[in-house]
A and B are shown apart, each in its own frame.
Chain A
Amino acid sequence: EVQLLESGGGLVQPGGSLRLSCAASGFTFSSYAMTWVRQAPGKGLEWVSDITSSGGRTYYADAVKGRFTISRDNSKSTLFLQMNSLRDEDTAVYYCAKEDNSGNIKWFDPWGQGTLVTVSS
């Protein structure tokens, strides 16, 4: 069974940093692209960042570009999101998800349970 377990969330002051982790199991982690998606309280889903299976290419939403860094350790089946210069508007539940695919078409399945990041003074 594929499992994704996020950790590292918590309360941080504006301007601070936080590093999220997503431990994967039940599949060959190094063969799949991975992604981070967030959801602010009472709001919809917002894509944050993507990383290819090898880690060679990364993509970011404009809202986090230059502040967040996605990375992965394929030897430990773990995905990371380094978040710097955090703002109030970064407050959200952060989900990691595996990118399943058919050819060059991808989708997110499954998702982890999420970790809450609260940015507040």
Chain B
Amino acid sequence: SYELTQPLSMSVALGQTARITCGGNNIGSKSVHWYQQRPGQAPVLVIYRDSNRPSGIPERFSGSNSGNTATLTVSRAQAGDEADYYCQVWDSNSWVFGGGTKLTVL
């Protein structure tokens, strides 16, 4: 079965840029979606189809996907960006999530 690999955690200084990676075999050939989950809340879509932002999501969130790595970039990080982030793809009639990355804003 297809697997997505994310770093367990990472930290970013307030106002700086965080890049959260999602690794998978030839993931660049798939469409990747990203979800943000704040503590105690339901997940929220922040990026769909590799690099598209839903309405209401700040421009500070961006995405890219190539080769074996997809990346979610959070620019000018704010305290409210502290959350778990999950990548997702569809493969062989099954949805696959990455293990999630806990982003801490220092």
Interface residues of A (CB under 8 A from B): 35, 37, 44-47, 50, 59, 61, 95, 100, 102, 105-114
Contact status A112-B94, CB under 8 Å: no
Residues in A with CB closer than 8 Å to B98 are 44
- Specify which of A35, A106, A111 is in contact with B42 (CB 8 Å cutoff): A111
Docked complex Cα distance between A32 and B33 (Å) = 18
Other-chain residue from A35, A44, A106 in contact with B86 (beta carbon distance below 8 A):
A44
Choice from B37, B54, B86 contacting A109 with Cβ under 8 Å: B54
Which residue of B48, B97, B100 is within 8 Å of A107 (Cβ)? B48
Cα distance A44–B7 in the bound complex, in angstroms: 13
| Inter-chain contact B49/A111, CB cutoff 8 Å | no
Whether the Cβ atoms of B86 and A112 lie closer than 8 Å is: no
What distance in Å separates the Cβ of B2 from its nearest Cβ neighbour in chain A?
12
Chain B residues, CB < 8 A from A114: 42
Residues of chain B within 8 A (CB-CB) of A50 are 95
Most chain A beta-carbon contacts within 10 A, residue among B37, B42, B49: B42
A112: min CB distance to chain B, Å: 7
**B28 near A: Cβ within 8 Å?**
no
B43 to chain A, nearest CB (A): 5
Q: Is the CB of B45 within 8 A of A45?
A: no
Residue of A at shortest CB range from B100?
A: A44
Residues of A within 8 A of B33 (CB): 107-108
CA distance A117 to B105 in the complex (A): 32
The 4 closest A-B pairs by CB, nearest first: A47-B95, A109-B45, A44-B100, A107-B33
Q: Which residue of B lies closest to A49 (CB)?
A: B95
A46 partner residues in chain B, CB cutoff 8 A: 97
A24 to B86, CA, bound (A): 24
Cα distance A61–B19 in the bound complex, in angstroms: 30
Q: A45-B86, A61-B94 are in contact. Are A95 and B42 (CB under 8 A)?
A: yes
Interface-central residue, B48, B54, B86, by most chain A CB under 10 Å: B48
